[in-house]
Amino acid sequence: MCGIVGYVGEKNCIPILINGLKRLEYRGYDSAGLGLIANGKSQVIKNKGKVSLLEEKVDKLNITATLGIGHTRWATHGAPNETNAHPHFNTSKNLFVIHNGIIENYQALREGLKKLGYKFITETDTEVLPHLIDSFLVKGHSLFRSVQLALGEVEGTYGIAVVYANEPNKVVAARKGSPLVLGIGENENFVASDVAAILAHTKQIVYIEDGEVIEIYKDHFIAKTILDKQVDKEIHEITMSLDEISKGGFPHFMLKEIMEQPESVCNSMRGRLLLEKGTSKLGGLESVVDQLVDTKRIIISACGTSWHAGLVGEYMFEQFARIPTEVEYASEFRYRNPIVGKDDTIFFISQSGETADTLAAMHEAKIRGALVLGICNVVGSSIARESIAGVYTHAGPEIGVASTKAFTSQLVVLALITLLIARRKDMSLVDGKTIVEELQKIPEKISTILKLNDQIEKIAEEFKDVKNFLYLGRGYNFPVALEGALKLKEISYIHAEGYPAAEMKHGPIALIDDNMPVVFIAPKDSTYEKIVSNIEEIKARNGRIIAIASENDDKIDSLVDYSIKIPDTIRMLMPLLTVIPLQLLAYHIAVKKGLNVDQPRNLAKSVTVE
Ligand code: G6P
């Protein structure tokens, strides 16, 4: 999704901004631009397409600047072209703005501004901002005050950075609903939508909150609300390193992140397992654990891959914690007047902690008095900060748009929460210990599965040109079927569907012929015999079958075209293993199709608009 980076200091900011934008590329975008104050004048350079094109364009101009802002745009209103790329100017071209989010009342604002004589040259919602701010500047207000007054008229969401040539020593930034952080340096300050953009320069971060406007100078900053109340800001030291956000020798972030999973799942459980007591210790939930154990109902709300993790969580909570659990798409939850109140606990799962739908659903649940808990990966993200309590997944930065290690870490955290509640209810010590022991063995088992990379790459070669795929699983592996299909869709653009295996005969079986590969998730568990029957049904119709099967399962080889043999664990933890071959399969198919694995078309890593 759109990215923002800004700089005020003494160095030439152009390489700083370009490198910052490159660090934000993973979020997904279709055009890029820079706005600078060079020799006291405002200058905007932008283009459709990649940041590398922008870099070439700026290099040719041979300019330097010590203040500027940069943007990567993911089109919402208006086609992805150079005109619609940010920054956007006011009519006198002495003020420019970059914006993430959506101005919902832009049509009304646009009409009003047109009547005042402002001319619009783009199709974007953002373009109302420079003109609206200008309309206050011409009345004699400062830039800071004009931004406050303009935002008072805006409905919707925004993270913005504004530069005005007549006040050339500052960037003004503001936030409502779109992430924005301030980076504090030595005689230089930064603003960014994502810490990754400025991590090379500083680890001192100030989180900008909704409703705040910040005036950023090279050696200090002033923070107020839109209503002009002074706010005190705290500086946080972040621990993420630059190494963690680079590819580390892998051709793609996605492959690096798949391969990191033995380590990332380990980090998710580090210090949290209590073997002797057969339970877990989650500091982030300590203050609410009694309430959690007594809760009448759990709702899990999320989007995309995190929603799939939530489905696995539902199985875990109901089987072991014995609490009725529902899983809701965050986007639906908010708009359907859900029956939620103080007896409910709602977990919001989000890798980024910034997904607009999830954040909005969380606000709704809070208003209704539910116990609002977060499961997030990004430390200090909006969902993490605004939930009453929660658990970090500690998977480390995830850059590839297709989520992999964040998913497995979410599953680990859900298992830890299950243990915490279930052991306070009726789970025996022996059962608790078994789960802890099995969790401890997961990293090594994932390493074993990752060694099948070459085998899976060969299978990918065979299937790279097909048009459709079906993924089938039962019980805990049904959400994994959904996740496997989503991975394939996201990065290879092959149509894929996930289904509960038993449901196949109620519809999808009509699709089966020799052009339809079916991936069965068929480990040896209590549903194994039933899934074998489903495999027979596909085979009878000439479907091509790939099975994810248990390592000791010899029977399956005669039934399927390809079998990928993986170690076993207890049922609730099986998704941590069965998903790994599916991630690798999607990855290799996309690579073989020559597609951009880390930045698939139309997708964004963190969807900060509704
Ligand atoms: C986007 C990403 C998905 C992700 C979803 C939820 O759609 O492309 O990969 O699963 O958002 O993101 P979150 O950060 O809330 O987990």
Last residue of a domain, one of 183, 210, 244: 244
CB 306 less than 6 A from any atom of ligand 1: yes
Q: Note the pTM of the prediction, 2 decimals.
A: 0.79
Residues 194 and 282 in one domain: no
Q: Is 609 a member of any domain?
A: no
Our mutation pick for probing the ligand 1 site, out of 305, 382, 387, 408, counting the most ligand atoms within 8 A of Cβ, is 305
Residues 157 and 180 in one domain: yes
Region of 507 please: left (phi>0), alpha (psi -120 to 50) or beta.
Answer: left
Q: Is 605 a member of any domain?
A: no
- Give the chain's domain count: 3
CA of 269 to the centre of ligand 1 (A): 22
CB 355 less than 6 A from any atom of ligand 1: yes
For residue 378, the ligand 1 atom closest to its alpha carbon is 14
What is the chain's length? 610
CB 374 less than 6 A from any atom of ligand 1: no
Are 309 and 297 in contact, with CB atoms under 8 Å apart?
no
Does the annotation mark 22 as catalytic?
A: no
Where do runs of H (alpha helix) occur along 451-596?
453-463, 477-492, 528-539, 574-592
Residues 156 and 200 in one domain: yes
Q: Is 219 a member of any domain?
A: yes
Residues 365 and 409 in one domain: yes
Domain with residue 325: its CATH number is 3.40.50.10490
- What the block records as the tokens of 604 is 């964004």
The side-by-side arrangement of strands in the sheet containing 344-350 is 325-329, 297-302, 344-350, 371-376, 389-392
Residues 146 and 210 in one domain: yes
Q: Is 610 a member of any domain?
A: no
Residues 479 and 428 in one domain: no
Residues 120 and 151 in one domain: yes
CB 410 less than 6 A from any atom of ligand 1: no
CA atoms of 268 and 400, how far apart (whole Å): 19
Quickly tell me which residue has 């005050």 as its tokens: 145
Q: Which residues contact 604 (CB under 8 A, 6 or more apart)?
A: 1, 27, 28, 29, 74, 401
Residues 348 and 427 in one domain: yes
CA of 465 to the centre of ligand 1 (A): 27
Last residue of a domain, one of 187, 219, 244: 244
Does the annotation mark 2 as catalytic?
A: yes
- pLDDT at position 516 is 85
CB 599 less than 6 A from any atom of ligand 1: no
For residue 302, the ligand 1 atom closest to its alpha carbon is 15
CA atoms of 37 and 521, how far apart (whole Å): 57
CA of 486 to the centre of ligand 1 (A): 11
CB 329 less than 6 A from any atom of ligand 1: no
Q: Is 565 a member of any domain?
A: yes
CA atoms of 152 and 364, how far apart (whole Å): 22
For residue 603, the ligand 1 atom closest to its alpha carbon is 8
Last residue of a domain, one of 447, 480, 499: 447
Mean pLDDT in order along the chain per 10 residues (610 residues) = 92 97 82 94 94 94 96 85 94 96 92 95 94 97 98 94 97 93 97 92 94 97 96 90 75 94 94 96 95 95 97 98 96 86 95 93 93 93 92 91 96 98 96 98 97 97 94 96 97 94 81 86 90 88 92 92 96 98 98 90 71
Q: Is 491 a member of any domain?
A: yes
Range of the domain at 496: 452-600
CA atoms of 226 and 150, how far apart (whole Å): 9
Q: Is 340 a member of any domain?
A: yes
- pLDDT at position 527 is 86
Domain with residue 181: its CATH number is 3.60.20.10
Residues 178 and 271 in one domain: no
Name which residue sits closest to atom 5 of ligand 1, judged by CA: 304
Are 5 and 160 in contact, with CB atoms under 8 Å apart?
no
CB 606 less than 6 A from any atom of ligand 1: yes
For residue 28, the ligand 1 atom closest to its alpha carbon is 8
Residues 457 and 533 in one domain: yes
HEC sequence for 79-106: CCCCCCCCCEECCCCCEEEEEECCECCH
Residue 242 corresponds to which amino acid?
A: L
CB 351 less than 6 A from any atom of ligand 1: yes
Residues 240 and 351 in one domain: no
CB 350 less than 6 A from any atom of ligand 1: yes
Residues 200 and 253 in one domain: no
For residue 403, the ligand 1 atom closest to its alpha carbon is 9
